[in-house]
Amino acid sequence: MDVVGTWTGKSACVLQEALRDTNEGFAGRLGIGLRTVATWHADPELVPRTEMRQLLDQILETAPPAVQKRFALLTTEASPQTAGQALCVAIAVVVRGSEVLLVCRRDDESAGIRWQFPAGVIKPGGNPASAAVRETLAETGVHCAVRQDLGGRLHPATGVWCEYFLTEYLAGEAQNQDTVENADVMWVPRNAVPRFIPVDTIFPPILAALEEPQHD
């Protein structure tokens, strides 16, 4: 079996294709979040973190011969099917009085760590609003309810289609419940968000929503 020199988002997706896995199935096989698989599809040149590369090595090395052969063929052919699938992400802007909830992502090694709003992949046929609420709870332990659909856009940095929802805090203590993909979770003042997220990457309707009068 050929050894993979450097795993990238593209080669990880080739392995997924060779395994005939859905995004959800591939994430489950690796024991990682759907968001990571979505990132590989969205950014084929991304180099996963060391522990992710080790997981991919292990899956390939222990795969049945037929899968290993299919992986080799797909790699050689550079199959266009691995270029990516139509991916959609639901993003929750959770407000609690004068504060908004942020999570600190563990990005690939070269990019480091960045702050974002809680987000999750929308499964095929799934409800975007439900995905935003579900992923927020899974990541942070916070229960929230959708207050307003803020619209959608093609994210300028990832190229993934994003659906944004303004949500209100219901219950729960904010804590990092996804330590593989996130480094921290915290409430920050609404007017401090641009100190954590570059303002030119924030969806304009989010900025407008955060400037609205507060209703405690």
- pLDDT tens digit sequence for 75-130: 775 444 434 445 788 999 999 999 999 999 876 444 455 889 999 888 777 889 99
Least confident of 50-54, 122-126, 137-141: 122-126
Q: What does the pLDDT read at residue 165?
A: 95
Residue 101 tokens, joined: 């909830």
- What pLDDT is attached to residue 25? 87
Residues in the chain: 216
Contact present, 155 and 174 (Cβ < 8 Å): no
The domain ranges of the chain are 9-83, 88-210
Q: Is the pTM of this model over 0.95?
A: no
pLDDT, greater one: 84 or 74: 74
For 88-210, which CATH class? Answer: alpha beta
Helix (H) or strand (E) holding 103: strand 99-106
The pLDDT assigned to 91 comes to 94
pLDDT 10s digits, 2-25 = 556 678 888 898 899 889 888 888
Place of tokens 């489950």: 28
Report angle CA 192, 199, 158 to the nearest 5 degrees.
125
Q: How does pLDDT run across 31-45, given as a tens digit for each residue?
A: 888 888 888 888 777
